[in-house]
Homo-oligomer: A and B are copies of this chain.
Amino acid sequence: MATRTTAAPSATDSLLIVGAENAGVLTQIADASSLSLDDAAARLRDARRVFVLGAGRSGLALRMTAMRLMHLGLDVHVVGETTTPAICNGDVLLVASGSGTTAAIVRAAGTAAAAGADIIAMTTAPESPLAELSQVTVVIPAAQKQDHDGQHSAQYAGSLFEQAVLSAGDAIFHTLWKASGATAEELWLRHANLE
């Protein structure tokens, strides 16, 4: 009699999978990219303006970081939103791409580099075209979007990478916030008040 041997996990099982995979990848980032993370934080703090760019869910994760950096008082723009201007010399582009080869992302990074901006890349691939264009590479040893073999993560496509982009962005923010000496109440005053 044929039996279905692998039942689908409950949502709680899945949550524990997500949690375990994140714990693993964050430890690996801490081990391997410690200097990069601090370098990224310092460059964001000192940038004339910060631009963030990512495709799909990576882009949404970076928008979460962008919002926090605005709360901190930085001048931050999301590529593709209405009032985002041209990137120039002295600006920093924070960009995420699992593979480091997403064509539109690599093209944009090339434009930013040619304009004189510095680039901070979050990617799984330290040898990728995106990493080569970047002053700082935060290596996130997770699956890329097109790794469908389940070898690096049981989760679908780049999910683990995208979760780690959020954690890395929030870690950079946390460090900048604590170093700034500003209180939570001071940041709170910058939160959007017309929605």
CB-based contact B11/A172 at 8 Å: yes
Count of chain A residues with a beta carbon within 8 Å of a chain B beta carbon:
90
Footprint of B on A, CB under 8 Å?
Answer: 8-19, 22-23, 26-27, 29-30, 34, 37-38, 40-41, 51, 53, 55-57, 60-61, 63-64, 66-71, 76-87, 93, 104, 108, 111-112, 115, 146, 148, 150, 154-157, 159, 162-163, 166-168, 170-175, 177-179, 183-185, 187-195
7 closest Cβ pairs, A-B complex: A11-B37, A8-B179, A148-B184, A15-B171, A14-B174, A19-B26, A14-B171
Pick 24 A–B contacts, CB within 8 A, sort by A: A8-B178, A9-B174, A11-B34, A12-B38, A12-B171, A18-B174, A19-B22, A19-B30, A22-B23, A22-B167, A53-B194, A56-B67, A57-B68, A64-B162, A66-B82, A70-B82, A80-B195, A108-B195, A115-B193, A154-B174, A156-B174, A157-B184, A159-B174, A163-B166
